[in-house]
Structure 1
Amino acid sequence: MLGDIIIEEERYTMKRWWRCLLIVALAGLVWGSSTSGIADEKDRYAQLTPKYRKWLTEEVCWIITPQEEEEFLRLKSDTNRERFIEGFWEKRDPNPLTRENEYRDEHYQRLEYANRYLAVGSTRKGCLTDMGRVYILLGKPDDRDHTYSSNIVLPYEIWHYFKSPAPGLPPGMRIMFYRRFGAGEYLLFDPLFDRNRIFISRIRQWEFISPEQIRDVLGLEFTQAYSGIAPGYSTGFSSQIVEELRDPTWLKETIVSQVRSVPETGVVVDYTFDIFALSFEQVNIPTEEGFYQCHFNIEIPSEQITLKEEEDKLLGKVKFLGSISDSKGMTIARLEETAFLELSKEDYPAKQHYNLSLRWRADLVPGEYNLNLLSFDKLGRGQGKVEHTFTVDELRADRWLLSDIALGYKAVKANREMVEKGLPFTFGEYAIYPQGDATFRRGRGVMVAAELLAPEGWMPEEEPVTLVLSVEKGGEKKVLTSVPLSGIEGGGRRMVFFDSISTETLPPGEHTISLEVVNLSGELLIAEQKRCTLVDQPIEYGKFIINAQRGVDPVHLEYLFGLQYFLKGEYLKALPHLETAALKKPEELSYQVMFIKNLVVLDRLSRAEELVKGLRAKFPHDPQVLLIEATLLAKREHFAEALSRYEEVVKGGFTSAEIYNAMGMLYLNLKNNTKAREAFQRSLEIDPSQPEIKKLLEQIKGNYYK
């Protein structure tokens, strides 16, 4: 998803700011500005003869830089192309004094191996697969662990690099590949974004609900590789390396500049990078519906972002990847945003100190969570991460509840579009603009916002309370304002907003802002605190803003809450949310399927069967519906009927080794060894690497099942 960039400009210092220099980067404008441009790009490849097209798109596609590729495509004659190729390899020759070009020889050996051995299950050449790309970039692994298909576990492979395969990469690397649904080519596994459930057969997934159960089945090697790409490496940093292996634009640049020698493991590449000086803020807002709106603000100083010159512009590109997982390791929310910066050279000096601000919102049910967020400069060497553990508290109707405090340098009235889109840091009627490190210029007003929930049964007339805003430094507390609480009833919610509190009389340094709710007798009912820093020097408040949250569909939120509870194993709590989503949007098949899965786990088979019957009427040939029905029938021991559903799925063109294995097991239950043997043989045709199925076939031939 591409980030919509908004420019917020503050005229605080005496300097007169120039025009806005960042052009809003909308997805359609960035990628789809001209269909003719796409056609022209295709024509440029089409003009190449097969020899040179193959060289560009297969032989060197993982090591040629974008600039080199552009230069090659501009050439008009084969003579010039041959000269270019000669220079391409000369540039990469680690020892020009010898006749051999060790880099080129090593590269073509890797290319040949990838094409011969790494195209398993793929319709593409091996060099174009994930395995082929990693092999070409990092060389032959020191060891490889294979796990073949069984009735439970899908095939996967782990590559071990005992020594560091390149400077900047850790020793003990373990790169994992898996086959989606047990078929097709091997795909690169991302420890941050891919779930361990993808390694379990879809037919057997409901037997292994928790990550612990799955890891027990898959074993120690899997657990280690699943946890990180190397010992001591977090899933966040592991994901950074995986991202570079998937999109090696930066690696291509470093290959050219860092080739020094070719040891046994292959080409030496410098993977070191600069660390972004990130600032991070989180604000959790409770809602009357029982969940929390969690708002995140991550800022990067723009002077740390690489800008490359193109004609009369300066261009930058920063990618953000993030995830929120629960205490069991299940991914609850994901983020993928790319910020495209386009600046004029004339205006750059005035805006060079603006921060790039990513604002994200995720709606979460109570629980323990881990946030992993990565950012990396796609045109330079800057990278950064945020790893943060936080708790979303249980909401209780019998007590006061106050959200985290949000401090901002600016607040505006939230319009209808802001509310409908559910933009981050939108509090009731106002949108707050946070300052990443909570540092403000002394003397300038600071906005304070929070959300307050009153307990059920509270009567404001009988039990009046007061809101007290104060600031504390060095043990000295100063009340800034105190106002009676109004406009809220028992069980209700109200935004608390203080517009531009004065800081002129406060000394510079770190302060603690406190918001308290007290009754007439002075008893403290609830309080929240937030630290901030006041300084005397001018502060740049201009921002390049990316709002990662898009429109919020309340029905989809119900589905997400149900899914969160389901993944946490709290199936009874998940039930009303999934049911609400399924009832309000019966046309959304994914809502119906998830609701039925929850019913199956709760062993409410009659209701599940009733719903499946309705889905069969609406979606008579959908494989998801047929597979769910087959599962229910098998659970009821209606083996023949379950088989008929699988056969219908297969006739519809949806086949996999797991489906044939399930059919084989059903045939065995029906004492039909001949049909069982045929089903298992079909499974092995799709995936020959299934030793347990081969063993089962031998048992059938030996009349094991009677």
Structure 2
Amino acid sequence: MALGPLASLAAAQQEDAQDHAKKASKTKQKSEKELFKEIDSQYKKWLNEDVIYIIAPEERRNFLRLQTNEEREQFIEAFWQRRNPDPDSLDNTFKEEHYRRIAYVNEHFPSGIPGWKTDRGKIYIMWGAPDEIDSHPTGGNWDRPMDQGGGSTSTYPYEDWRYRYLEGMGENVEIEFVDPTSTGEYHLTMDPSEKDALLRVPGAGLTMAEAMGTSSKAQRFSRTDGTNQAMGVGGQNTGKDEFDRLENYVNIMRPPPVKFKDLEQVVTSRLVRDQLKFQYRFDFLRITSDTVFVPITVQIPVRQLSFQEKDGVDSASMNIFGRITTLSGRIVQTFEDTLRADYPSSLLQQSLGTSRIYQKAIPLSPNLYRLDLVVKDVNSGNVGVVNTRLAVPRFQDDQLSTSSLILADNIQRVSNKDIGLGQFVLGDVKVRPRLDASFIPSDSMGVFLQVYNLKVDEKTHKADASVQFRILKDKETAPALRFDIPADKLPSHGEELTLENRITLGSLAPGKYKLEVAITDNLTKQTITPTADFTVKPLPANPK
């Protein structure tokens, strides 16, 4: 029958689309092969041996796009953590079980190739040990079930594995492996007749209908469902057509679903880390020798946010997620908050040069951690991600030491009811860090520092310390500004001293500077000098 013009056009378009899809697929495969060649051998092995059966296609593509070994290590860590049934545990039982399975199949299923490459090895690694195994390592006589025609025949070696339940496939899943060469090379089959050793022997291994002459053995080879099994007695069949078998085969070969998808975003977000840029810092203040107070501060430029206007107010919203883990992957702390930015529409343009700032303070034990920070602009969907090491120091009890030296744009006392509460509050003081450490001459730069383990005089029960502030311009040795605070001018203190000072910058020319705070314990003659860099920028020009 001839096709009409529209039908011909549709057919041609469909053919072009298919050709385009084939070309795109080949290009994609070529690209992945080229990317694979560029990675180190240890990562090739991880991708093509260790996790080849359980990694999802999208995960594999994402892994190949990573640029550095550090990113690959982070990806691998997150890959296992996504599948960890108990993220808070020191042990990852999924990972341990996975490598146990690999060791098991390499020991029990080798056949000229490593066990992990065999069909039985693949299924065992993906789905674990079956609930039942019906094994016939030498083949033998087999009485066919009635839905496969009945009668008796001889078989090659074969195994039937039964799983009571597999996620994505349901209950009572049966998988058959056949070794037609009797060499130990079992392969997965969808055809129940493949184990029939007499299938192609005329007059042997007949079904009941064939033995009675009501059916011909040749009819088995005229089926169109990809099998050579006989029709069941009375027209019965196994209840599975070719589509059922194909669907089961596809599901069995598909990587097992990830049970714990709450961490999936961490994996994919590594690939979009530059959509939203933000600054961050963490500081360390001693609570005890075993506990450190760690304020984590995040600053997001307003000009990167997407605003929506309503009733004369432009609004943006950011979701902030943080996670601190040990190097073994155990989650120590997570936090989630929402930060808003609301401006009258008439003031939005002049507000674009400002930033929004957020802080979360967490007590931690001295240790080396990993910090993951995610900031999402709700209106645009843009995401920024930071993955970094967090080395929390140990403050020794007998050694002069200090907290982080914090440069702030705001230091102020809080009321008694707010002590220790809210963002930026350190004890009885609110300290808002200036993350870019950038000031103008009209600014008053706040300085916050705690000093620990000053010696206390046994007679006066007081410490004796002196403090000197020095500001040095970039690469100059002579201080551009210096002032001293003698012991009698320091706030009352024992072995711990807290400095809260403001430094007027009006006398400093624009440029890069270093602040040095030298603290001397006059009883032990010990001196410690923490430093911090900052920049003085020119005053902005007045608009004409």
| Aligned mate of 1:239, from 265, 275, 291 | 265
**Paired residue secondary structure (1:347):** helix
Question: What is residue 401 of structure 2 aligned with on the other side?
Answer: 401
3-state secondary structure, aligned to 2:284: strand
Q: How does 1:448-487 map to 2 (within 5 A)?
A: 448-455=447-454, 459=458, 461=460, 464-473=464-473, 474-478=475-479, 479-484=482-487, 485=490, 487=492
CA distance in 1, matches of 2:375, 2:56: 26
Q: Which amino acid aligns with 2:359?
A: R
Structure 1 match to 2:438: 439
Whole-angstrom distance in 1 between the partners of 2:513 and 2:11 = 62
CA distance in 2: counterparts of 1:289 and 1:487, whole angstroms = 22
What is the alpha-carbon distance in structure 2 between the residues aligned to residue 195 and residue 272 of structure 1?
A: 18
The letter for the 1-side match of 2:265 is: S
Structure 1 residue 419: Cα displacement: 2.1
The CA distance in 1 between the partners of 2:503 and 2:59, in whole Å, is: 58
Aligned twin of 1:529: 531
Which whole-Å deviations, capped at 9, do the CAs of 1:581-621 have from their partners, x for residues lacking one? xxxxxxxxxxxxxxxxxxxxxxxxxxxxxxxxxxxxxxxxx
Residue 98 of structure 2: aligned partner? 218
Q: Do 1:305 and 1:316's aligned partners in 2 also have CA atoms closer than 8 Å? A: yes
CA shift for structure 1 position 406: 1.0
Give the Cα–Cα distance (whole angstroms) in 2 for the partners of residues 370 and 145 of structure 1: 24
**1:431 positional shift:** 0.5
CA contact (8 A) 2:78 2:266 kept: no
After superposition, what is the alpha-carbon deviation per residue over 1:404-426, rounded to whole angstroms, capped at 9, x for unaligned? 111111222112343242x3432
The alpha carbon displacement at 1:352 in A equals 2.5
Q: 1:272 to 1:210 in 2, by over 3 A?
A: closer
Contact 1:405 1:448 in 2 (8 A): yes
Structure 2 Cα separation of the partners of residues 534 and 211 of structure 1: 49
State the shift of 1:365 in Å.
Answer: 1.0
Aligned to 1:373: 373
Give the secondary-structure state (helix, strand or coil) at the position aligned to 2:386.
strand
Residues 192/343 of structure 1: CA separation in 2 closer, same or farther (3 Å cut): farther
- In structure 2, what is the Cα distance between the partners aligned to 1:429 and 1:337? 24
Aligned length: 331
CA distance in 2, matches of 1:170, 1:193: 13
- Picking from 496, 499, 510, the partner of 1:496 is 499
| SS of alignment partner, residue 198 of structure 1 | coil
Percent identity over paired residues = 12
User: Alpha carbons of 1:430 and 1:172: their partners in 2 closer, same or farther (altered >3 Å)?
Assistant: closer
**Structure 1 residue 99: deviation in Å?**
7.9
* CA distance in 1: counterparts of 2:63 and 2:476, whole angstroms: 47
Q: Which amino acid aligns with 1:219?
A: Y
Distance 1:355 1:460 in 2: 51
Output the CA distance in 2 between the equivalents of 1:505 and 1:172.
51
2:417 matches 1:413 = no
Letter in 1 for 2:483: L
Q: Report the CA distance between 1:199 and its aligned residue.
A: 5.9
1:374, CA displacement in angstroms? Answer: 1.5
CA distance in 2, matches of 1:445, 1:497: 12
- TM-score, length-scaled by structure 1: 0.41
* Aligned AA (1:449): F
Q: Aligned partners of 2:11, 2:538: CA distance in 1, in Å?
A: 58
Answering whether residue 292 of structure 2 is matched by residue 292 of structure 1, we say yes
Q: Deviations over 1:214-238 (max 9, x none)?
A: 744433999xxxxxxxxxxxxx997
**Cα shift at 1:276:** 2.8
Q: Which amino acid aligns with 1:501?
A: I
Q: Which has the higher contact order (CA 8 A, sep 6+)?
A: 1
- CA deviation digits over 1:516-570, x for unaligned, max 9? 211449944322111111111339xxxxxxxxxxxxxxxxxxxxxxxxxxxxxxx
C-alpha displacement at 1:392, in angstroms? Answer: 2.0
Matched residue type, 2:492: G
Contact 2:289 2:396 in 1 (8 A): no
Q: Give per-residue Cα distances to partners, 1:66-86, cap 9 Å, x unaligned.
A: xxxxxxxxxxxxxxxxxxxxx
Q: Helix, strand or coil: the match of 1:436?
A: coil
Local SS of the residue matching 1:476: coil
Question: For residue 326 of structure 1, what is the aligned residue in structure 2?
Answer: 326
- Deviation readout 1:401-457 (Å, 9 max, x if unpaired): 210111111222112343242x34323332012212111112421010111222565
Structure 2 counterpart of 1:72: none
- Runs of 4 or more consecutive aligned structure 1 residues displaced over 6 Å after TM superposition: 99-103, 142-147
Give, as a single letter, the amino acid of the residue that structure 2 aligns with 1:348. L
Q: Aligned equivalents of 1:304 and 1:425: distance in 2?
A: 23
Q: 1:90 maps to which residue?
A: none
Assess, with a 3 A threshold, how the Cα gap between structure 1 residues 494 and 399 changes in structure 2: closer, same or farther. Answer: same
Q: Compared with structure 1, are the counterparts of its residues 355 and 379 closer, same or farther at alpha carbon in structure 2 (3 Å cutoff)? A: same
Matched ranges for 1:98-497 at <5 A: 158-161=55-58, 164=61, 171=64, 191=78, 197-198=84-85, 210-211=90-91, 215-219=95-99, 239-240=265-266, 242=268, 275-288=275-288, 290-310=290-310, 312-380=312-380, 382-421=382-421, 423-455=422-454, 459=458, 461=460, 464-473=464-473, 474-478=475-479, 479-484=482-487, 485=490, 487-490=492-495, 493-497=496-500
The alignment partner of 1:538 has SS state of: coil
How far has the Cα of 1:102 moved from its partner?
8.5
Shift of 1:394: 2.0
CA distance in 2, matches of 1:350, 1:452: 40
The answer as to whether partners of 1:427 and 1:450 remain within 8 angstroms in 2 is no
Q: Is the 8 A contact 1:160 1:172 kept in 2?
A: no
Distance 1:293 1:158 in 2: 39
Q: 2: distance between equivalents of 1:443 and 1:369? A: 39
Q: Does the alignment pair 1:505 with 2:473?
A: no
Tell whether the 8 Å contact from 1:443 to 1:505 is kept in structure 2 after alignment: no
Question: What do residues 11-37 of structure 1 show as CA deviations (whole Å, max 9, x unaligned)?
Answer: xxxxxxxxxxxxxxxxxxxxxxxxxxx
Query: Contact (CA 8 Å) 2:320, 2:374: kept in 1 or not?
Result: yes
The 1:334/1:274 distance shift into structure 2, 3 A limit, reads: same
**Inter-CA distance 333–195: structure 2 relative to 1 (3 Å threshold):** farther
Matches of 1:412 and 1:143, distance apart in 2: 59
| Displacement of 1:501 | 0.7
- What secondary structure, in the 3-state scheme, does the structure 1 residue paired with 2:85 have? helix
8 Å CA contact 2:299, 2:358 repeated in 1: yes
On the 8 A contact 2:299/2:435 being kept in 1, the answer is yes
Whole-Å separation in 1 of the counterparts to 2:272 and 2:15:
29
Q: Which amino acid aligns with 2:85?
A: I
Contact 1:465-1:520 at 8 Å conserved across structures: yes
Flag structure 1 segments of 5+ consecutive residues without an equivalent.
1-94, 107-141, 148-156, 174-188, 223-235, 245-270, 540-706
- Residues 173-197 of structure 1, C-alpha deviation per residue, up to 9 Å, x if partnerless? 9xxxxxxxxxxxxxxx993995765
CA distance in 2, matches of 1:298, 1:96: 56
For residue 56 of structure 2, what is the amino acid of its counterpart?
W
Deviation at 1:459, TM superposition (A): 4.6
